[in-house]
Amino acid sequence: MSPKKIPMRMCLGCKQMKPKKELIRIVRTPEGSIELDLTGKRSGRGAYFCKDVKCLEKALKEDRLSKALDHEVSKETIEKLKEDLIKSEAL
């Protein structure tokens, strides 16, 4: 029996391939809102990054998040994502 395949995803910030469970997903829902998806199962277009604010900031600085989600990300949304990330790290 072959070993179970581990899904890998690339972090938008550091560009490293890591197991999906080690990354956090940001999703653009079908309604158009952009949110953290801690379960990794919400419907919509998703992008992944490490559980580190630095990776999120690098992805935002180089406009990678907007390109990955195929949607412009507002400054208010960026601040909300950072706050949500910090809250999720505290859990």
* Residue pointed to by tokens 């998703």: 46
Question: Has residue 2 been placed in a domain?
Answer: no
pLDDT bracket for residue 91 (50, 70, 90) = very low
Please report how many Cα atoms fall inside a 13 Å half-sphere around the Cα of residue 91, on the Cβ side.
8
Asked if residues 27 and 45 have their Cβ atoms less than 8 Å apart, the reply is: yes
For residues 89 and 91, give the distance between their C-alpha atoms in angstroms, rounded to a whole number.
Answer: 5
How many domains, the chain? Answer: 1
What CATH code is carried by the domain that includes residue 37? 3.30.1230.10
Question: Has residue 1 been placed in a domain?
Answer: no
Question: Has residue 81 been placed in a domain?
Answer: yes
Task: Please write the tens of the pLDDT for every residue from 32-67.
Answer: 999 999 888 899 999 999 988 888 889 888 899 999
What domain range is 41 assigned to? Answer: 8-90
Question: Has residue 13 been placed in a domain?
Answer: yes
